[in-house]
Amino acid sequence: MELIATCAFGLEKLVYDELKQLGLWVIKKEDGRVIFEGDELALVRANLWLRCADRVQIKVGEFKALSFDELFDQVNALPWEKYIGVNDAFPVDAVSVKSTLHSEPAIQSIVKKSIVKRLQQQHNSEILSENSGAQYQVMVKSNKDEFIVTIDSSGDSLHKRGYRTKTNEAPMKETLAAALVKLSEWTPDRTLIDPFCGSGTILIEAALMAHNIAPGLARTFTFQKWPWIDQTLIEKAYTEARDAQTPEVKLRLYGFDIDSEVLTIAGKNAGNAGFKNINFQRSDFTDLDFSKFENATFITNPPYGERLEELAYVEKMYRELGKKFKESQGSSLFIITSHENFQHLFGRLADKNRKLFNGGLKCYLFSYLAK
Ligand SMILES: C[S@@+](CC[C@H](N)C(=O)[O-])C[C@H]1O[C@@H](n2cnc3c(N)ncnc32)[C@H](O)[C@@H]1O
């Protein structure tokens, strides 16, 4: 099967590396997705293990279509019956970008009709009740008249690990938090500090990685109800994942935030993920003694000042942070913000600067490596 791991723009290389690490055959990466080859076990493993991807999809077909007749015929020629049984649900979603066929509701309706016709013929049944309990979410995407048609195997987006039951105002997606930890090249022997930790996502993702815990182990997936995926394969992947955990890792993880309510949420989230050893403490970052943190890694997602009334506060904060960070000997800092002038305010040019998207907002990850 050809499979697709979708992800936020900027994370493709990380997802590519994750798939390689899983021993999978990666075909290519494109904007927002990585295409790979694999069997049912690969599909299950990718869902369980990918930390930076949003979804795992089965690629059913790819074609060009300029008219609704062409779209109907192309979709009708695809082997839907391989996946979708006579009573399974198959809702259709469509996105069209810069294409001749631009009406998404119309694309959706034509694709649905075309799949219905194919399934009626192939299953030799006029009635498709869609009530078996198994769901095959069909996704149609067209870009400049090139269509790609997929079935989603994940269900909820993969950033929903299951540990975050409550959030603060501006939580970071778990997938992006995991990406920041990977990009920092943090290793579990180093102290990790998030001085603006909010609900603790960055630290929890770091702990999951350090303990080699598959991020999807505590949640459910759509594929679990698909009868053509052998239950013993699913069990095999889960057993492998449970056996791969390394519980005995000593970690030094510290989260600070000015807001005590958000720290209560952080503590709960960490507890849900099985971590009691992340140190969350209420503190304004200006009161922290940075000289106490030597050879540490700071990874953080501070306020960005997107709201005008916050801007002056945030700019002052970035200036102050630049001064304070100098006190921490041998430490590195990875900070994400949408503020275009961050480096100037911080008072030092970053060693690396990478464009990333946080919930659709263009941001930069500024990396300051230890001197
Ligand atoms: C963008 S949120 C961080 C979200 C976090 N990454 C998460 O996943 O939940 C920024 C955090 O900075 C905190 N904050 C604002 N001013 C602060 C200050 N002076 N010192 C410490 N924390 C502060 C806010 O309370 C907020 O939780």
Helix (H) or strand (E) holding 308: helix 308-325
Encoded amino acid at 266, one letter: A
What b-and-e string marks burial along 36-74, b requiring 16 or more CB atoms within 10 Å of the CB?
bebebebbbbbbbbbbbbbbbbbbbbebebeebebbbeb
Asked if 295 and 188 count as a contact pair (C-beta separation under 8 A), the reply is no
At 280-303, the pLDDT tens digits run: 999 999 999 999 998 999 999 999
Directed axis angle between helix 201-210 and helix 260-272, to 10°? 20
Cα-trace Rg, the chain? 23
355 versus 309: the higher-pLDDT residue is 355
Asked if 204 and 272 count as a contact pair (C-beta separation under 8 A), the reply is no
Protein residue closest via CA to atom 18 of ligand 1: 284
Distance between Cα 351 and ligand 1 center (Å): 24
Distance of CA 225 to the CA centre of its chain: 22
Give me the architecture of the 174-214+246-368 domain, per CATH.
3-Layer(aba) Sandwich (3.40)
Mean pLDDT of the chain: 96
Q: Which of 77, 219, 67, 55 is nearest to 150 (CA)?
A: 55
Encoded amino acid at 74, one letter: Q
Q: Is the CB of 284 under 6 A from ligand 1?
A: yes
Nearest atom, ligand 1, residue 197 CA:
5
Q: Is the CB of 194 under 6 A from ligand 1?
A: no
In degrees, rounded to 5, the angle at the alpha carbon of residue 51 between the alpha carbons of residues 41 and 133 is 50
Structural tokens at position 173: 């997606």
Distance between Cα 300 and ligand 1 center (Å): 9
Q: Is the CB of 257 under 6 A from ligand 1?
A: yes
Domain ranges of the chain: 2-152, 174-214+246-368
Q: Which of 52, 15, 54 is nearest to 36 (CA)?
A: 15
pLDDT computed for residue 168 by the predictor: 67
Rounded mean pLDDT of 146-167? 93
pLDDT exceeds 70 at position 167: no
Asked if 40 and 48 count as a contact pair (C-beta separation under 8 A), the reply is no
Rounded mean pLDDT of 228-237? 96
DSSP of 253-265? EEEEES-HHHHHH
pTM over 0.85: yes
Percentage of residues in the chain having pLDDT higher than 70: 99
Protein residue closest via CA to atom 16 of ligand 1: 258
Q: Is the CB of 285 under 6 A from ligand 1?
A: yes
Residue 171's pLDDT band (cuts 50, 70, 90): confident
pLDDT computed for residue 169 by the predictor: 72
Fold of the 2-152 domain:
VC0802-like (3.30.2130)
What b-and-e string marks burial along 82-119, b requiring 16 or more CB atoms within 10 Å of the CB?
ebbbbebebebebebeebebeeeeebbebbbebbeebb
pLDDT computed for residue 306 by the predictor: 86
Distance between Cα 271 and ligand 1 center (Å): 20
pLDDT computed for residue 99 by the predictor: 97
Asked if 96 and 56 count as a contact pair (C-beta separation under 8 A), the reply is no
pLDDT exceeds 90 at position 228: yes
The backbone region for 186, taken as left when phi is positive above 0, alpha when psi lies in -120 to 50, beta otherwise, is beta
At 175-215, the pLDDT tens digits run: 999 999 999 999 999 999 999 999 999 999 999 999 999 99
CA–CA separation, 345 and 366 (whole Å): 13
CB neighbours of residue 248 within 10 Å: 6
pLDDT computed for residue 105 by the predictor: 98
Q: Is the CB of 288 under 6 A from ligand 1?
A: no
